[in-house]
Structure 1
Amino acid sequence: MAFAVGMDAFSISLGLGIYRIRLRRIFYIGLVVGLFHVVMPTLGILTGHFLSGLFGQITTYIGGILLILLGIQMIYFCFREEENTAILPVGWGIIFFSLLVSLDSFSAGLSLGMFGVRTAAAVICFGIVATFLTWSGFLIGRKVHNLLGTYAEVFGGVVLAAFGFQLLFPISF
């Protein structure tokens, strides 16, 4: 799941990689994105724990539906016709960029929190994966700027939706 929510950071970094951002800035941006991917799912998990205690089993269905909607939203935004304006990750743009690519990790954390996941393990995975995906996106984007962007985000959306369907319709092997 950490890989799926980190695909936003990867795909956007891949697109921004064409701006030939300096390696030192890429390193810094990756760390900030990783930090946001720790903070946002932590808030989501804590909120999910709280909601789970209040509502019980219905939170399983809510969590599954949230993951499916999040996956569909990621896929939908890949195929929109309008072109997004580039937010260059400089100054406050780094904070804004990190917040934008980590919003989906809040929703994923909310779903995980409803199931009583271990917070520390989950958010450390989210942060590490997001950091490395961000670095990878920028570095690959420097070489090949638009080859994988859409496909990477579609893959992330499909994985999130699959997790949601697994929660709604558990399959035992």
Structure 2
Amino acid sequence: MFDITAEIGQMLTILIMAVALGMDAFSLGIGIGLKGIRLLDILKLSALISIFHVLMPLGGMYTGQYVSTLLGGIATTAAGALLLLLGGHMVYSAIRGEAVESINHRTIWGMLVFSFSVSIDSFSVGVSLGMFSSSVLMTVLVFGMLGGLMSVLGLMIGRSASRSLGGYGEALGGVILFAFGLLFLI
């Protein structure tokens, strides 16, 4: 019974983290969508974001597993501190109003830069998760699916929503990661 509860808790944690990481793609997608975007570009950009949301945490998890063997008992504290920093940075960026106005999302380089920029946070979270030996395949697949889905939603909503919603989505994602960081440290 305890193993099932632990598995459900782990899956719920991964889902919440995936949503928090996807908030970045969602909120920035709203901004891109407000500039006007074709449906084909939405599909291309979201597919790239999904790929980056798989590759970045995968690299982070393997790095985290290596770091975990080096750090031993300090791993939990280091993982919590990483999530605190990451969540705090996301909230700070949302408050400060950083945007990706200079990226032309219609070019392949623009799509790659945009996809990388909204997925870089996944690497840090992957490092943290790698220190806890969570299921690698399940984690990266959930991160990829939700990252892609949330980018599609953000881009579609951005076509018809106001610009002010975007910053709140990134701030919410940051608050969630910050809260997980606190939980790891407590």
* TM-score normalised by length of structure 1: 0.94
Partner residue of 1:108 out of 118, 125, 134 = 125
Query: Which structure's residues are more often helix, by fraction?
Result: 2
Is structure 2 residue 170 aligned with structure 1 residue 153? yes
Identity of aligned residues (%): 44
Partner residue of 2:51 out of 25, 30, 35 = 35
Deviates further, 132-141 or 77-86: 77-86
Paired amino acid for 1:77: S
Partner residue of 2:80 out of 64, 67, 74 = 64
Over aligned residue pairs, what C-alpha RMSD do you find?
A: 1.2
Equivalent residues in 2 for 1:7-46 (5 A)? 7-46=23-62
CA 1:83–1:157: 2 relative to 1, 3 Å: closer
CA 1:99–1:154: 2 relative to 1, 3 Å: same
| Residue aligned with 1:115, SS | coil
Contact 2:97–2:167, Cα closer than 8 Å, also in 1:
no
Equivalent residues in 2 for 1:85-124 (5 A)? 85-90=101-106, 91-124=108-141
Contact 1:17–1:145, Cα closer than 8 Å, also in 2:
no
Is structure 2 residue 161 aligned with structure 1 residue 144? yes
Is structure 2 residue 148 aligned with structure 1 residue 131? yes
Q: Which runs of 5+ in 1 are unaligned?
A: none
Tell me the distance in 2 between the aligned counterparts of 1:110 and 1:99: 17
Contact 2:91–2:171, Cα closer than 8 Å, also in 1:
yes
Paired amino acid for 1:98: S
Tell me the distance in 2 between the aligned counterparts of 1:75 and 1:109: 19
Q: Which runs of 5+ in 2 are unaligned?
A: 1-16
Tell me the distance in 2 between the aligned counterparts of 1:81 and 1:22: 25
Match of 1:5 in 2: 21
CA-CA distance at 1:147 after TM superposition: 3.5
Deviates further, 131-140 or 142-151: 142-151
Contact 1:16–1:86, Cα closer than 8 Å, also in 2:
no
Tell me the distance in 1 between the aligned counterparts of 2:80 and 2:112: 29
Tell me the distance in 2 between the aligned counterparts of 1:81 and 1:152: 12
Paired amino acid for 2:113: F
Tell me the distance in 2 between the aligned counterparts of 1:101 and 1:84: 10
